[in-house]
Amino acid sequence: MSERVDHPPLTEPTAWRGVELVVNGRPLTAQVESRLLLSDFLRGRLRLTGTHVGCEHGVCGACTVLVDDVPVRSCLTLTVQCAGTHIRTIEGLTTAGKPLGAVQRAFHDNHGMQCGFCTPGFVMTCTALSEAAERPDEDHIADELSGHLCRCTGYRNIRAAVRQALDETHGKGQTE
Amino acid sequence: MTRQHSSEPTGYVGQSVPRVEDERLLRGHGRYVDDIALPGTLEAAVLRSPHAHARITRLETAAARDLQGVHAVYTASDVAALKPLVNEAELRVPPGLAEKLEPLVRTLPMPLLAREKVVYAGQPVALVVADSRYLAEDALELVEIGYEPLPVVVDPERALEPGAPLVEESWQDNLALELETGVGAPDTAFREAAVVIEEEFAVHRHVPSPIETRGVLAAPGAYDGRLTVWANTQTPHRVRDHIAMSLAMPADDVHVVAVDVGGGFGQKGILYVEELLVPFAARALGRPVLWREDRNENLTAASHAREQTHRIALAADAEGRLLGLRDRILVNFGASTMTGLVVPYNSVIHLLGPYRVPHVDIAVRAALTHTTFTSPYRGAGRPEAVFAMERALDRLARRLGLEPSELRRRNLITPEEMPYRTGLLDRSGEKQEYDSGDFPELLRRAVDHIDLRGVRKRQSEAARSGDQRTGVGFAVYLEATGLGPFESARLTVRPNGQLRLAIGAPSQGQGHRTSMAQIAADAVGVPMESVDVLGGDTDAVPHGVGTIASRALVTAGNATHRAGLALRTRILDAAAERLGVPAEELSIDGTRVRHPGGAETALAALVADGAELSETAYFRPGGFTYASGAHAAVVDVDTRTGHVSIEKYVVVHDAGRIVNPVIAEGQITGGVAQGIAGALYEEMIYGPDGQPTTTTYMDYLLPTSSEIPDLHLDEIVTPSALNDLGVKGLGEGGAIAPQAVLTNAVEDALTPLGVVVRRGPLTPDRVRGRIREAQAVHSEQAAPVPS
Amino acid sequence: MKPGPFDYEAPASLTEAVRLLADQEREAKVLAGGQSLIPMLNMRLARPGLLVDITRVPELSGLYVDEAGHLHVGAAVRQAAAAAAPEVRAGWPLLAGAIAHIGHPQIRNRGTVCGSLVHHDPAAELPAASLALEARFTIVGPGGNRTVTAEDFFVSTFQTAVGPDEILTEVVFPPAPGDGWSFAEHVQRRGDFAAVGVAVALARRQNAMHRVRVVFCGAGPLPVRVPEAESALEGRPLDAEALEGATALAGAALDPPKDVHASAEWRREGAQTLLRQALTEAWERTA
């Protein structure tokens, strides 16, 4: 039995559609406007505000979430497109009361974050890398990281955090 | 990396304590403005001018108002009773400056919504409030508005010519600011100098671009009539005061909270009309109203920065000792006088930098243009000044045939000359005095780390005609930090025996919850875990200034230190009274106070007893304390494509005593990354019609991890003598030098081709263009290539 | 930056998709991965009344090599999936190589091959690659099926042969000309659209180049194929002379645009530098 998600009063003029999807392991049924971006569904309807919105045109990467285990831009995804998918956000990485997971801890250990706004996006992409069948090579890691903008850290510590996380999940890398 | 710790015994200060803010953020439990959910919140969207300069001929909002889900559409006439925006604190000219320099500083109050005409593309014209942002944007499309375009001026030079289109019709011209200052007898110095060079260098327009755009949520209190405003500002108390003034409310009826802030870099350090419009709407509608800026708005309508032109001349003797400096600075203010003297005067007082310059003649003018207004961005006038000075030094070195780092060495002020007076007045109007620093050591280390000899050897060995050219560049800078007038800290023992520290300066990622707790814990003598830090809540501390101008650690840090020492005394006195023993014999152990004889009491018990265990302390800096640094870089330039790659980047900095080395390094690396970004990638470009053309992240190019190299970091520590902690600010330092360093390095690489670089960013197209020009000149003149 | 209102349908058959798309009074528009369309919706630069999501149409999700050795990529196939497919990597490495340059992995995880082709940003990688690989495009509409060659498919900036009521159902790549290939581009940041880029495909027979294809992106309103350069290279080994000859011909043939990122002159020079690099790489790959 899936949980129903409340929606605001029906002042929205666009067509409403029912979607069933799983968010952080929770099966949900929701009525949403066709135009509702996944980022706004997660943040506004589900109050999962850990997913941040930085540019709404797919460049900054702050809104990155996992849809069926692959990182995608939630600002460039309509909620209705996600019917039948499993979505994971930063809130779903660790249960309340449990210690941080390897990826989260790596960002903490390496001071891989300052204002924390871009962090959830980096963490979700890094989570996908840590779950890959084998350790991605350096160029692949660089490619994935280039999909995220950070304005605070200068990236050095983010790279160190990703390295630590992947060392922990895949064993030490070939390089460095 | 080498670090010379000051001789502090034990304690938290000086330790790389992992940040306490991280865990919450890593679980997705941050609380940024846009994350706060109040029942019944309405969302706002701003209608902005598509024109740089136009008369509003028609404004009809009925259709927008009639859209289902729309609650209000406000235009200029609805907010006519509200006072226009003036960044009072920034526009005030300190008495010393006003008296001695008699600067022209004009103030142009900013209407909350455009009346009759618009003066820059992006200017707010109407505010729509609706059930959701989606609906609000639907309504924006229904506002019927007519414009009659007017002539536009975007170039500040042209804006000051007679007959230029006026930004403010009641002014006779576009001159917003004018100031002259000097030292000694510059005319004589230039006349008698062995060498004089004169150059024009321009710094292009930047956008600070924090990843979290601006946001305001205002909620009228149904119970107490107060207004609560959550804003991602760097200066919550100033926002509170302006809202109160604008809405004619008592200041203590306005509660401003800067929650988690997703980066600021100066862009969130000034007041904006949206911070007044949203509270106005919330009060008018009796509902919470949220406005969250989108990226397009942030790039076009939040403040821009940096655009300056320097016509700079240096006079030197035959050995390269500087005799005089002359500079004519022109600043593009954009369409308003947002922060007045702040940036231009910061450029003036940082122009001489760490160098001994006996005779000085500087004049600054700022022009209004039909572009978005400008304000401080990390460095705030310093990167601009350092770019001009350090580029000029390299040109002088070439003229003299000296190694650029050697020319610098000959002119650096030595530690023996400290405290050193430049002869100029500082930002407060006092005699500018460098308190401490060891600039020659900074440079020596930078030269060492970059392996200057090795680079020169490689350059001479490599085929000088190859496609890849290597170059090396340096810059040495200093930074007046710890801007006054004050900051406050309130430290209180809570009922559970733990401590709460409230400071006026909020954090935008600087890690105050960690570094300030380190300072407080050391001062009181308690474990860090028992200190909780609250920043940026105007109810928690009544007065504050904010986190701008590399000041938080110096001002709020020292206020915290003082509050901590006073609270320790107060705790020990209260415990002594309760236990009937002398206070000197007591020690604080966690949340308890113990006597060697066995008697002890919990802090919680003291509070329960009614002891008032709270201290508020203010720190008013006696003067600026100077942080400094030397940067060096080796670059490779592909002469076929103009592509610049950074092979090595060295930073040697001195920010006095370091509270948390890992956080300090993070500030440096982040600042350098922003500097590299401006040097090589980012530029906010306007067309001649005043249309901004780089309005998305596809066109305004923030670098990614692939573009920013790891840095080679080193530091020296000359503790500040001006505050108890011995600290200096370092938030801005990293961003000050990169543009000068990288441009010097690129020019060094291309010197054999005769290339001079006078402007950035150093995009492949621009670099290649300079090479092409130089080649054209050389083939025309058939002149020998200088080596 | 929120989309204007529209309706959404996710038909389960191609017939149904075509029927929905026929509703041009509502300005129906195809939605696949959305990585080009949704930014335009968010900025309200596109205002369709109905989005027809074709990713749930089973017949559009195929990626396979047919009996004649042609690669079929269905309209719902994501770029990341295409680039990772063993048959693509083995037989059409230029296609995989071009995809690697599109945006960021997070974009390629959702964006489709056909979507990028239909969107036809002149700086985009796939139009140039598809022209170099002489792809054919299957278009379905109310009037039935038709097949269009790459030469005819790209009409102008953001315009292709696909009408508003039509769907590009698949792109079909004939066997690649040979083992030689390269995709190279100039970007300022990793992941950006190419300021200028080039796709090269060629075969090597008896130490000479054959079936040479040279196509630039970012060099005009369409992907620009340079037949002059191709025929100058045909039948000879890649030596310095051949390289310089082809580069000069390409420089003369191109008339690239200018924008905030680069001047026309820089693009021309950049195209020539890339061509040298790409030809060398393609030739070396055949060794």
Cβ of A55 within 8 Å of Cβ of B696? The answer is yes
The domain total for chain C is 3
Say yes or no: C37 and C89 in one domain.
no
pLDDT at B8: 41
**Is a pLDDT exceeding 90 seen at residue C287?**
no
Confirm whether B631 is domain-assigned: yes
Rounded mean pLDDT of chain B?
94
pLDDT in tens, B697-721: 999 999 999 999 999 999 999 999 9
Confidence of residue B10 (pLDDT cuts 50, 70, 90): low
Say yes or no: C153 and C260 in one domain.
no
Which residue of chain A is at minimal alpha-carbon distance from C10? A81
Choices 3.10.580.10, 3.40.50.300, 3.10.20.30, 3.20.20.10: CATH for A3-92: 3.10.20.30
Say yes or no: B326 and B420 in one domain.
yes
Say yes or no: B578 and B641 in one domain.
no
Q: If contacts are CB pairs under 8 Å, which of residues 83-142 in chain A contact chain C?
A: 83, 125, 142
Could you give the dihedral angle defined by the CA atoms of residues C241, C97, C221 and C41, in that order, rounded to the nearest 10 degrees? -160
Work out the average pLDDT over C18-31.
92
ipTM of the complex: 0.96
Confirm whether C95 is domain-assigned: yes
Confidence of residue B484 (pLDDT cuts 50, 70, 90): confident
Interatomic CA distance for residues B212 and A152, integer angstroms: 11
Say yes or no: B379 and B255 in one domain.
no
Q: Where are the beta strands (DSSP E) in chain C?
A: 7-9, 28-31, 50-53, 63-65, 71-74, 136-141, 144-149, 154-156, 159-160, 167-173, 180-186, 196-205, 208-217, 224-225
Say yes or no: B584 and B725 in one domain.
no
Contact list in A for residue B135 (CB cut-off 8 A) is 11-12
Interatomic CA distance for residues A155 and B706, integer angstroms: 9
Q: Which of B21, B22, B707 has the highest number of chain A CBs within 10 A, making it the mutation to test binding with A?
A: B22
Work out the average pLDDT over B497-511.
91
Confirm whether B121 is domain-assigned: no
Say yes or no: B465 and B489 in one domain.
no
Q: Is A53 on the interface with C (CB under 8 A)?
A: no
Whether B84 contacts B110, CB under 8 Å: yes
Interatomic CA distance for residues C274 and A45, integer angstroms: 48
Q: If contacts are CB pairs under 8 Å, which of residues 69-88 in chain A contact chain B?
A: none
Work out the average pLDDT over B405-427.
97
Q: Is C188 on the interface with B (CB under 8 A)?
A: yes
Structural domain including B239 reads 208-301
CATH superfamily of A102-170: [2Fe-2S]-binding domain (1.10.150.120)
Q: How far is Cα of residue B251 from the mean position of the Cα atoms in its chain? A: 27
Say yes or no: B692 and B764 in one domain.
yes
Domain boundary among B301, B326, B341: B301
pLDDT at A149: 98
Say yes or no: B370 and B411 in one domain.
yes
B233 secondary structure, DSSP code: -
Say yes or no: B297 and B376 in one domain.
no
Whether B427 contacts B98, CB under 8 Å: no
pLDDT at B547: 85
Higher per-residue confidence, C42 vs B222: C42
Which residue of chain A is at minimal alpha-carbon distance from C47? A35
Say yes or no: B409 and B473 in one domain.
yes
**Is a pLDDT exceeding 70 seen at residue B780?**
no
Which residue of chain A is at minimal alpha-carbon distance from B28? A50
pLDDT in tens, C175-206: 999 999 999 999 999 988 899 999 999 999 99
pLDDT in tens, B217-239: 999 998 899 999 999 999 999 99
Q: Which residue(s) pair with B633 in the sheet?
A: B473, B649
pLDDT at B2: 37
**Is a pLDDT exceeding 60 seen at residue C123?**
yes
Cβ of C105 within 8 Å of Cβ of A37? The answer is no
Q: What is the CATH number of the domain that holds C22?
A: 3.30.43.10
Domain boundary among B286, B301, B316: B301
pLDDT in tens, B235-255: 999 999 999 999 999 999 999
Say yes or no: C18 and C76 in one domain.
no
Q: What is the CATH number of the domain that holds B524?
A: 3.30.365.10
Confidence of residue A2 (pLDDT cuts 50, 70, 90): low
Domain boundary among B282, B301, B320: B301
The full set of domain ranges for chain A reads: 3-92, 102-170
Percent of chain A with pLDDT over 90: 86
Contact list in B for residue A33 (CB cut-off 8 A) is 134
Interatomic CA distance for residues C175 and C65, integer angstroms: 10
pLDDT in tens, B120-135: 999 999 999 999 999 9
The domain total for chain B is 3
**Is a pLDDT exceeding 60 seen at residue B531?**
yes
How far is A97 from chain C, CA to nearest CA, in Å?
Answer: 30
Q: What is the CATH number of the domain that holds C265?
A: 3.30.390.50
Whether C72 contacts C65, CB under 8 Å: yes
Cβ of A52 within 8 Å of Cβ of B265? The answer is no
Confirm whether B769 is domain-assigned: yes
**Is a pLDDT exceeding 70 seen at residue C146?**
yes
pTM of the shown model: 0.96
Interatomic CA distance for residues B521 and B15, integer angstroms: 13
Chains that touch A (3 or more CB pairs under 8 A): B, C
Structural domain including C38 reads 7-56
- Joined together, the tokens standing for residue C201 give 């495909």
Say yes or no: C115 and C36 in one domain.
no
**Is a pLDDT exceeding 80 seen at residue C127?**
yes
Whether C231 contacts C273, CB under 8 Å: no
Domain boundary among C111, C142, C173: C173
Cβ of C2 within 8 Å of Cβ of A125? The answer is no
